[in-house]
Chain A
Amino acid sequence: MVSNTTPWSPSAREREREIYRKNLQARKRVIALISTVLVLGTFSAILLTSPGWDSVKTTFFDLDYGKEVFPTVIRGLVVNIQLTLIGGAAIGIIALALALLKTTKSPALTPFRFIATAYIDIFRGAPLILIILLVGFGVPALRIQGLTNNVIVLGTIAVVLTYSAYVAEVIRSGILSVHQSQRAAARSLGLTSRQTMRYVVLPQAIRRVIPPLLNDFVSLLKDTGLVSILGVTDAVRAAQINASRTFNYTPYVVAAILFLLITIPLTRFIDRQIRLRSEKQNSEGLA
């Protein structure tokens, strides 16, 4: 192996190539830098010297007003986060049940398979905002004793109903992606179809759909902002109250920045997971 060879020093030709490669790299960096400064500089110059810039700045980026509303908006964001976490847990459980029911071949569960299929069709196809309006305003209108009128609870239910359908489809696609030979191997060892699903198919399916599930989680966080239409004081609603009071839209920008502070790192993390996964699969493919 390598350890037995004599000490290596690059040949004259290799040293030439190395110098050439270094020059090339340096030139590329200079071009990138000049291009960036030129383009971004031009854009900022146009933006800052345009006649409307001052009013844009005071309407959307009023720093003092931003600081003033920050505490109320962040209190609202806590509601969004709570809703995302509690809703997310409920969605996970319901979606898994729906996915299993939709893929089952058990004759006794046939009616449930139909129900799961219809449920997914309906809630995946209908706009989330309609479901929120229907549940949030419709349910209290029934005036049924014992049913909650709490808009946070009703809003959460509406979001959970819809997202369970999305996530069920993601899980189901994971289940279908596990190769038939894995099932054959498990069944030939004497495992029942239920044991095969639980110990062989589902663990592989869930692992495969973690990146798309995380994407849905980010969407869920953003879509919790929609429950503000029911009057839930989340980040969006808190911003709206302040903005409509002063006709200054800085609170919306504050809310947007707060959402981005969570979603951008999360999506970066997901992209990294997906990249690592595909690299792993590629290396497996080569083996």
Chain B
Amino acid sequence: MSAPVLEIVDLRKSFEENLVLHDVNLIVSEHTATVLIGASGSGKSTLLRCINLLEPIDDGLILLDGQEISDPAIDVDLIRRKLGIVFQSFNLFPHMTIRENITLAPIKVQRKSRDEANELADGLLKRFDLLEKADEYPDRLSGGQQQRAAIIRSIAVNPRLLLLDEVTSALDPVLVNEVLSIVRDLKSDGMTMVLATHEMGFATQVADQVCFLESGLILERGTPEEVLRSPSHPKTKEFLKRVHEAGRL
């Protein structure tokens, strides 16, 4: 066993009166993929945003490689350089070409030269079959291409941990696969990931551990086999039944 990349201890988060996460404990080891499942509003996205320090937490600990990043005295910019996050709505910068989107952080944050950053970007674009779109602006790309570009943008800074927040939810069903195949490739590269998704089939393929969230609590966790094939908690069963009825399993 390698040391955990991410460790979450008794995390608690509320928005005003609304308790959205409580008693969340999670360990993510290196080179593993942790999949968060659960209904909309169960707290998956909030958990990812807390890990990325986009949301302050109310209590508990978040440790990245053993360092407490929930410490308010920490330099958040420094921590965020080690974390990548991809959003449901892509959030590419519309005034920049795809290549500029990808090279912005390597140039401005990691202080790479423009040539070096372009070389890195073009290498990744080529690998994920998007090189011919390098000089296009995001609005000229399909949703699937935009999301692939967004994933490339976040891995270009070599994050220690990649967070994927329902990256296929805003996509046409026919475009989902091209995005998922990138995630599969990253997983086989050994990228450590935490992802929230509604794609159960995909979860089964990539997950090392699956966590089922319900009302801000991790109700059940285990291997995909355990949680998705033979869930023990009645709420998990009910959720999977509803997903199955919706034709997503």
Tell me the A residues contacting B by CB distance below 8 Å: 181-182, 184-192, 195, 199-200, 203-204, 207, 284, 287
Contact = CB atoms under 8 A, between A and B. Distances in A.
Interface of B: 52, 54, 76-78, 80-81, 83-85, 87, 89, 91-95, 104-105, 108-109, 139, 153-154, 157
Given A181-B89, A287-B139, A189 B105 contact: yes
Nearest to A283: B139
Contacts of B81: 190
A187 B54 contact: yes
B94 A204 contact: yes
Given A195-B108, A199-B108, A284-B139, A188 B85 contact: yes
A192 B76 CA distance: 9
Nearest to A185: B91
Contacts of A182: 91, 93
10 contacts: A182-B91, A182-B93, A184-B87, A184-B91, A188-B52, A188-B80, A189-B104, A190-B78, A190-B80, A191-B108
A186 B108 CA distance: 11
A157 to B, nearest CB: 34
Complex A-B, nearest 6 residue pairs according to Cβ-Cβ distance, in ascending order: A190-B81, A185-B91, A189-B105, A190-B109, A188-B85, A190-B80
Nearest to B110: A190
| Interface residues of chain A: helix, strand, loop or mixed (majority) | helix
Nearest to B153: A189
Contact of A203 (B85, B95, B108): B95
B110 to A, nearest CB: 8
A190 B91 contact: no
Contacts of A181: 87, 89, 91
A30 B105 CA distance: 63
Contact of B54 (A188, A190, A199): A188
A55 B209 CA distance: 93
Nearest to B108: A195
